[in-house]
Amino acid sequence: MCDLKGLFVKFLRSAAPFLLSATLLSAASLAHAEVAIVLNSGDGTISVIDKAKMEEIRRFPIGKEPHHLMATPDDKHLIVANAASNELVFLDPLTGDIRRRIDKISDPYQIGFTPDKKWFVSVSNRLDRVDIYHGSDFSLVKRIPTGKTPSHVAFDANSTIALVTMQDSNELVGIDLASQTIKWRMKTGNMPAGVWVTPDDRYALVGMTGEDYVEVIDWRTQKSVKKITTGKGAHNFLALGDGKRLFVSNRVSNTINVIDQSTLTVVDTIDMPGGPDCMELTRDGKQLWVTTRWIKKVSIYDMASRKVIKQIPVGKSPHGIYFASHAPRK
């Protein structure tokens, strides 16, 4: 019996380094497993998805009426805008863990940093205004009354103007960031939502959720240049990362169009059932991950086979989506 005990002790001593190495290797693998982070607007939760396994691994409450999320300019944090909680929640973009909260951010619906990082702009959808904060510490600078139901925001490359869509008054508003006043406003099509500035900084592309087109606007002259026919319910944009092409999601027709930003034409159409909304493209350009709001799933589209290869159940009305190994935002 003593001999057996001695042999067992010797075995443990000899095996200990290998057991420790295996444990550390396993921990390292878990630590480096990439996740996709999904914002579920309908039930105020965050879904964390194992990107390799394509399955949800946890879900937790985040706040009241979260609508959009975005990475900080340095990609070190992911910000969730909780509109009814009047707060910003900062997540670790690699794990989804909550890092901190900033309160007294009034009704943040859609949010964005100017390219020079000087200003943080919060679109207050319910309060019909745009709030400007210092980008360094999120202290309030000015509240600017706008048209009815401001929706999305984009900026020119030089951080001189904020372009904001007015969903219910059917307008695009230009806010001068130096004076923090409305410089101009112009009429658009029905229910303007997502807004995107072309790489040459010449045009603003506006998705018309109440129509079937993207309106091309020369924002310097406030002239409508063209209407790019899309699927019905054109809503949100995502760059393909090649500096040329752009996705636009069409909520009503259940499609995603690809727009050539040089010719301002649709060059491809992707079928995406379930109400496509926000999108994220893998760095290698092989997979497009899409929040499909009406069916409470994230749909993964294989670009080569042109098929949806997986649908992952998440929370109610999934909206924003992010993962670290995304394609360039241009």
Buried b (16+ CB within 10 A) or exposed e, 200-234: eeebbbbbbbbbbbbbbbebeeeebeeebebbbbb
Phi, psi of 82 (to 5 degrees): -95, 100
Distance separating alpha carbons of residues 107 and 128, to the nearest angstrom: 10
The tokens describing 149, both together, are: 């139901």
The tokens describing 272, both together, are: 């995406």
How many Cα atoms sit within 13 Å of 263 on the Cβ side? 7
Identify whether the C-beta of residue 62 lies closer than 8 Å to the C-beta of residue 121: no
Confidence band of 166 (pLDDT split at 50, 70, 90): very high
- Per residue in 121-146, pLDDT (tens digit) is 999 999 999 999 999 999 999 999 99
Phi, psi of 120 (to 5 degrees): -115, 120
Identify whether the C-beta of residue 150 lies closer than 8 Å to the C-beta of residue 165: yes
Q: Give residue 32's pLDDT.
A: 62
R_g over Cα of the chain: 23
- Indicate if the alpha-carbon torsion angle 86, 177, 118, 241 is positive or negative: positive
- Is 60 exceeded by the pLDDT of residue 14? no
Give the position of tokens 């510490």.
137
The DSSP result for 68-106, as a single string, is EEEE-TTSS-EEEEETTTTEEEEE-TTT--EEEEEE---
Segment 228-242 shows an average pLDDT of 97
Q: Give residue 6's pLDDT.
A: 55
- Per residue in 279-310, pLDDT (tens digit) is 999 999 999 999 999 999 999 999 999 999 99
